[in-house]
Structure 1
Amino acid sequence: MALIALAADKGSPGVTTAAVALSAVWPRRVLLAETDPAGGDLVYRSQAAHGGPLNPNAGMLSIAATARRGLAPDQLWDHSQTLSGGLDVLVGIGSSEQAAGLVGQWPLLGRAFASLAESPQAPADVIADCGRISGETPALDLFAHASLVLLVARTQPESIARVRDRALALSTRLHSSSRGGAQLATPLIGVLLVADPGDSAKVANQVNSMLIGAQSVARVMGTLAHDPSGAEQLAGRKRGRLDKSLLIRSARQIARDVYQQYGAAWTFPVQGAAPGQMAGNMPGQMPGQVPGQMPGQMPGPAQGPIPGARR
């Protein structure tokens, strides 16, 4: 399975920006899912592939209306839309009031997201933007099905302290094991720091040392550049070479590091593939291209333009 859930403990560290940036450079085909119970933002900030606005009624809202009869992983594509850059998304609900329609369905969604990587028709990893988590937010029910939970945080001391405490609370809830064993259990719990590029390596080492000293299960998985200009380009509000931005360059490094370290455990054989041949790595196939997909057909984010990029 390959469900990667991004969330924040408090404030607005940039979870949606991080989720979109990672999805845009992910090395396999990916489906970005807005699963924030408070409501999604992409329908307001992004443009659909056809040039018009995204449909707010197609996505998590339409899933809520149909999933009570069950939800097969491949059915997720029936509710997805494509951004102008080629990224497939499930847009979020419009407000926290609409979250009532998903009550009891979060574990079902988690299983479908996690199983999409095994689909023989259209396999993909899922990156879920879960927004802020606290208390008994229903998005926590997704985490039990995730391979990796990334807690997005700024580098202020109070933010790191909250992430440390949140990681311990999540481990107690999800792993039900000792601290030492929890470090090897799934979902893995990691920290994604949003930091100034010049200080990122130093800050990451300092935060890791602090987490280890506190016997936290979390470890820093990477640092995403604090790049307001790149974030504006990603949202389509500013022109520029988005692929050259510090934001996308740092996201590409994070995606590469995470996938190289853990991707082997998230990759499944394709039906009819030769022994040792894995989904997403067919001979002559570009990263992110679906098996059987012709070059240039429905481009995934790895070979299509980055969402929001303007030439």
Structure 2
Amino acid sequence: MALIALAADKGSPGVTTAAVALAAVWPRRALLAEADPAGGDLVYRSSAAHGGPLNPNTGMLSIAATARRGLAPDQLWDHSQTLSGGLDVLVGLGSAEQAAGLVGQWPLLGRAFSALAESPHAPADVIADCGRISGETPAVELFSHASLLLLIARTEPESIARVRDRAIALSARLHGQNRGAAQLATPLIGVLLVAEPGDSAKVANQVNSMLIGAQAGARVLGTLAHDPAGAEQLAGRRRGRLDKSLLIRSARKISADLYQQYGAAWAAPVTGASR
């Protein structure tokens, strides 16, 4: 089906939390990739399916050691691990210094991530946590291979202004002369707002109108509940019914809406598929 890339402009709006939440409830099999060149968080905050810690050397780091010889989409599974909740992940780099091993390989990664959906053996959509993209982060090289780029933002005025300016810059870079055609250009650029549940619909409409007025080449595609307790549950630091949390309920609605609106366009015929 697709490569879905998540990123933020500045600060800590919750990109990793959003990526994990969406991947956990995605309508198809999903592979969560920690593609933040600054390093990943899952190895510190999540446990593996066997109950022990995740292996920091199996994931993006091991891909960096082998990708120069080529990377077929199905090879991604050789570098994946499974979280205690059953989600398949590519654990991120341990530090920004380790990103040197992936210099020049980001487009190759983007092609493999995008093509995994068409695998005849183990197809999956890749949800890539690309972290903060201020400056010339190499993760931007993934975006041209994505079906959807989701910019995560909180609802403070400065955050909204930054995501507008970042959307304009990315749309110009990725869409060129089609910058204003947000619904037609590829990748589709969307904004995912992290908002208080009671204000989410109103704020989303206001921000969407602002993006349209600015011809930002992006629009609001959903709101993720600002739910600190749910985020703690998702990270395994708090007990409770995670499926009943506002965070997961809002993530489920977002993923269902995205699949309903764009799933047919992203779908690729796959035969002999198995989970």
TM-score tier, shorter chain, comes to over 0.9
What do the CA deviations read for 1:73-128 (whole angstroms, capped 9, x no partner)?
A: 00000000000010000000000000000000000000000000000000000000
**Secondary structure at the residue paired with 2:136?**
coil
Corresponding residue number in structure 2 for 1:174: 174
Corresponding residue number in structure 2 for 1:164: 164
Contact 1:175 1:182 in 2 (8 A): no
Contact 1:33 1:89 in 2 (8 A): yes
Q: Moved runs in structure 1, 4+ residues, more than 6 A?
A: none
How far 1:183 moved relative to its partner? 4.2
Counterpart Cα distance in 1 of 2:129 and 2:270? 27
What do the CA deviations read for 1:273-300 (whole angstroms, capped 9, x no partner)?
A: xxxxxxxxxxxxxxxxxx445xxxxxxx
Corresponding residue number in structure 1 for 2:145: 145
Change (3 A) 1:182 1:207: closer
Counterpart Cα distance in 1 of 2:159 and 2:172? 20
Counterpart Cα distance in 2 of 1:19 and 1:177? 30
The alignment-based identity, stated in percent, is: 86
Contact 2:180 2:216 in 1 (8 A): no
Corresponding residue number in structure 1 for 2:16: 16
Q: Give structure 1 stretches of 5+ with no counterpart.
A: 273-290, 294-311
2:61 is aligned with 1:87: no
What do the CA deviations read for 1:239-264 (whole angstroms, capped 9, x no partner)?
A: 00000000000000000001100011
Corresponding residue number in structure 2 for 1:301: none
Corresponding residue number in structure 1 for 2:96: 96
How far 1:178 moved relative to its partner? 3.4
Contact 2:178 2:185 in 1 (8 A): no
Contact 2:121 2:274 in 1 (8 A): no
Corresponding residue number in structure 2 for 1:270: 270
- 1:1-311 equivalence runs, <5 A: 1-181=1-181, 183-271=183-271, 291-293=273-275
| Greater share of residues in helix | 2
Counterpart Cα distance in 2 of 1:271 and 1:238? 41
Change (3 A) 1:127 1:292: closer
Counterpart Cα distance in 1 of 2:183 and 2:169? 13
**Secondary structure at the residue paired with 1:127?**
strand
Matched residue count? 275
Q: Over aligned residue pairs, what C-alpha RMSD do you find?
A: 1.0
Report the TM-score when normalising by structure 1: 0.87
Contact 1:233 1:239 in 2 (8 A): yes
Counterpart Cα distance in 2 of 1:132 and 1:292? 34
Counterpart Cα distance in 1 of 2:100 and 2:239? 38
Report the TM-score when normalising by structure 2: 0.98
Q: Give structure 2 stretches of 5+ with no counterpart.
A: none
**Secondary structure at the residue paired with 2:101?**
helix
Give the number of the structure whose alpha-carbon radius of gyration is greater.
Answer: 1
